[in-house]
Amino acid sequence: MKIEVIEEVWRELGKCEMCGIRDLVLFADLNEDDFKLIHQPIVDMQLKPLQTLFRTDDSPDFVYTIRSGLVKLVNYSSDGRYRIVRLLGKGDLVGIEVLNGQPYAHCAEALEPLAVCRIPVSEVLRINRDTPRLHEQMLARWQKISSDADCWITELSTGQARQRVIHLLLHLASISDSDDFFLPSREDMGAMLAITTETASRMISALRNEKVLQVLEKNRARADLVQMRTLL
Amino acid sequence: MKIEVIEEVWRELGKCEMCGIRDLVLFADLNEDDFKLIHQPIVDMQLKPLQTLFRTDDSPDFVYTIRSGLVKLVNYSSDGRYRIVRLLGKGDLVGIEVLNGQPYAHCAEALEPLAVCRIPVSEVLRINRDTPRLHEQMLARWQKISSDADCWITELSTGQARQRVIHLLLHLASISDSDDFFLPSREDMGAMLAITTETASRMISALRNEKVLQVLEKNRARADLVQMRTLL
DNA sequence: CGACCGATTGAAGGTCGTCAAACTACGTGG
DNA sequence: CCACGTAGTTTGACGACCTTCAATCGGTCG
pLDDT in tens, A96-134: 999 999 999 999 999 999 999 999 999 999 988 888 888
Please give the pLDDT value at position B15: 63
Q: What mean pLDDT comes out for the span B94-104? A: 96
Instruction: Give, as one character, the DSSP assignment of residue B134.
Output: G
Measure B69 CA to D8 C1' (Å): 22
Q: Residue A70's domain is classified under what CATH number?
A: 2.60.120.10
- pLDDT tops 70 at residue B93: yes
Is there a single domain that holds both residue B86 and residue B172?
A: no
Distance B215 CA to D3 C1' (A): 30
| Same domain, yes or no: A182 and A218 | yes
Same domain, A115 and A23: yes
Percent of chain A beyond pLDDT 90? Answer: 68
B129 and B187, same domain (yes or no):
no
Q: Are A70 and A111 in contact (CB under 8 A)?
A: yes
User: Does A161 map to a domain?
Assistant: yes
β-partners of residue A66 are A116
Q: Note the pTM of the prediction, 2 decimals.
A: 0.90
Instruction: Tell me: do B77 and B188 sit in the same domain.
Output: no
pLDDT (0 to 100) of residue A132:
87
Mean pLDDT over each residue of chain B, to the nearest integer: 89
Q: Residue A15: pLDDT band by 50, 70, 90 thresholds? A: low
Give the dihedral sign, CA A48/A51/A54/A58.
Answer: negative
Q: Is the CB of B202 under 7 A from strand D?
A: yes
| Domain identity same for B28 and B129 | yes
| Number of domains observed in the structure of chain B | 2
Q: Between the CA of A188 and the C1' of D24, what is the distance in angstroms?
A: 22
CB contact under 8 A, B105 and A81: no
Chain B residue whose CA is closest to A140: B100
Is residue B3 situated within a structural domain? no
CA distances for B70 relative to A200, B91, B124, B184, B220, angstroms? 37, 10, 23, 10, 13
Residues of A with Cβ-Cβ distance to B153 under 8 angstroms: 75, 83, 85, 149, 152-153, 157
Statement to judge: residues A53 and A168 lie in one domain: no
Least confident among A22-36, A128-142, B131-145, B150-164: A22-36
User: Would A117 be classed as within a structural domain?
Assistant: yes
- Listed in sequence order, the DSSP H helices in A60-160 are 121-130, 135-156
pLDDT band of residue B130 (cuts 50, 70, 90) is confident
Q: Does pLDDT of B5 surpass 60?
A: no
- Predicted confidence band at B152 (pLDDT cuts at 50, 70, 90)? very high
Q: Are residues A133 and A164 in the same domain?
A: no
At A2, the pLDDT band (50, 70, 90 cuts) reads: very low
CATH number where B190 lies? 1.10.10.10
| A83 CB-near residues (< 8 Å, 6+ apart) | A74, A75, A77, A191, A192, A194, B153, B154, B158
Which pLDDT band holds residue B219 (cuts at 50, 70, 90)? Answer: very high
Over residues B97-104, mean pLDDT: 96
pLDDT at B37: 76
pLDDT at A1: 34
pLDDT attached to residue A7: 44
B194: chain A residues, CB-CB within 8 Å:
157-159
Residue B185 beta carbon within 7 A of nucleic strand D: yes
Q: State the SS3 of B14-62.
A: CCHHHCCCHHHCCCCCCCHHHHCCCCCCCEEEEECCCCEEECCCCCCCE
The residue range of the domain holding B166 is: 157-230
Do B123 and B17 belong together in one domain? yes
Is the pLDDT at B175 greater than 80, yes or no?
Answer: yes
Nearest CA among B4, B113, B116 for reference residue B48: B113
B24/B127 same-domain check: yes
B138: in domain: no
* Residue A215 forms part of a structural domain: yes
CB pairs under 8 A between A and B: 95
For chain B, first and last CA: distance in Å? 32
CB B215 within 7 Å, strand C: no
pLDDT at residue B13 is higher than 60: no
